[in-house]
Structure 1
Amino acid sequence: MRMLAALIAMLLSAPVLAQSALPPAPYANRQISDPAQERKAKALMETIRCLTCQSQSIADSDASLAGDMRSQIRERIMAGEEPEHIRAWLIERYGDWVSYEPTADPILWPLWGAPVLLIGLGLLVLRGRIRRKRS
């Protein structure tokens, strides 16, 4: 019985043991002193998805990876890089999924066109049913 209790305690404490012992990145939770640069950084952070949380932007997430990404964005903004260049770098590094802004790649055109096509087909079916009821 004691062995089972020890096993359960070990399993329940696993998430605590998984926490990083590393200190947070320098600009993870510290703002840039220049308000204009901080606004640029914040606007970009709100459009980048947290890779750990997946449903939050890195601006809202408390995950350590999100903190690292916030710090990198702030450091690059302070170095004079433009937000779009930083976004492109993040997309290149982590993939299209990291950005909340949809892309318009030709391979995705069927996804954008499918709703329009389905609405059009639905209207044609509805029109046909209305005509049959009137006859």
Structure 2
Amino acid sequence: MRSWIYAVMASVVLTCGLLTSAVSAAPGPDEILTDPREEAQAQALYDVLRCVVCQSQALSHSDAPLAADMRAVVRERVQAGDSHQDVLDYMQARYGDYVLLSPPLQGNTIALWVWPFLALFLGAIGVVAYIRHQTGRSVPQELSEADSAAARALMEEEGRE
């Protein structure tokens, strides 16, 4: 009976925690632009820019103080009339390629693009090699006449006892 009560209490606490984190991540009144077109552009930029202190979180999902500062810079650039690409270029020049959630394919980022495919390829080779190794071990071998006769003798001997 008590475990049921604890489960309900835990789910209530978890739900409250999730709701609190969702509310804290919502933009404040000072983070919303008055022009709907500019607000849409800023929101689109928040989704493609990374918070540089968080672990691969977009600006739109981060509640870190630096992310709030980065969103303020984006809003300033959008209000100044910069295009989507102009803001991306500015942020990339200021924070480096890491600020982009999808970094460009360059010499210094080639490993970021190649590594997942290389890991998948090497994993597939490993799986194929493992399966071949296992199937080679599980194939029954033909018994020689002497082994067959010895097995028959053992089976007859077991049947007599």
Give the TM-score of the pair, scaled to structure 2.
Answer: 0.54
Provide the rounded CA distance (Å) in 2 between the counterparts of 1:28 and 1:64.
16
CA contact (8 A) 1:29 1:67 kept: no
> Larger % of helix: which?
2
User: Which runs of 5 or more residues in structure 2 are unaligned?
Assistant: 1-27, 141-161
- Secondary structure at 1:105 match in 2: coil
Q: Which residue in 1 is equivalent to 2:125?
A: 121
Q: Which moved more, 1:94-103 or 1:34-43?
A: 94-103
- The AA in structure 2 aligned to 1:113 is F
- The AA in structure 2 aligned to 1:103 is P
* Structure having the higher Rg: 2
CA contact (8 A) 1:50 1:58 kept: yes
Structure 2 counterparts to residues 1-16 of structure 1, below 5 A: none
Structure 2 counterparts to residues 54-65 of structure 1, below 5 A: 54=55, 56-65=57-66
- Alpha-carbon offset, residue 35 of structure 1: 0.9
Provide the rounded CA distance (Å) in 1 between the counterparts of 2:40 and 2:106.
29
RMSD: 2.7
Structure 2 counterparts to residues 1-135 of structure 1, below 5 A: 29-54=30-55, 56-106=57-107, 107-108=110-111, 109-132=113-136, 133-134=138-139
Provide the rounded CA distance (Å) in 2 between the counterparts of 1:104 and 1:112.
14
- The AA in structure 1 aligned to 2:38 is Q
- Aligned identity (percent) is 32
User: Residues 60 and 128 from structure 1, CA distance in 2 versus in 1: closer, same or farther, beyond 3 angstroms?
Assistant: closer
Size of the aligned set, in residue pairs, is 109
- Alpha-carbon offset, residue 122 of structure 1: 2.0
User: Which runs of 5 or more residues in structure 1 are unaligned?
Assistant: 1-26
Provide the rounded CA distance (Å) in 1 between the counterparts of 2:63 and 2:131.
52
- Alpha-carbon offset, residue 53 of structure 1: 3.6
- The AA in structure 2 aligned to 1:116 is L
CA contact (8 A) 2:56 2:101 kept: no
Give the TM-score of the pair, scaled to structure 1.
Answer: 0.63
Provide the rounded CA distance (Å) in 1 between the counterparts of 2:29 and 2:62.
11
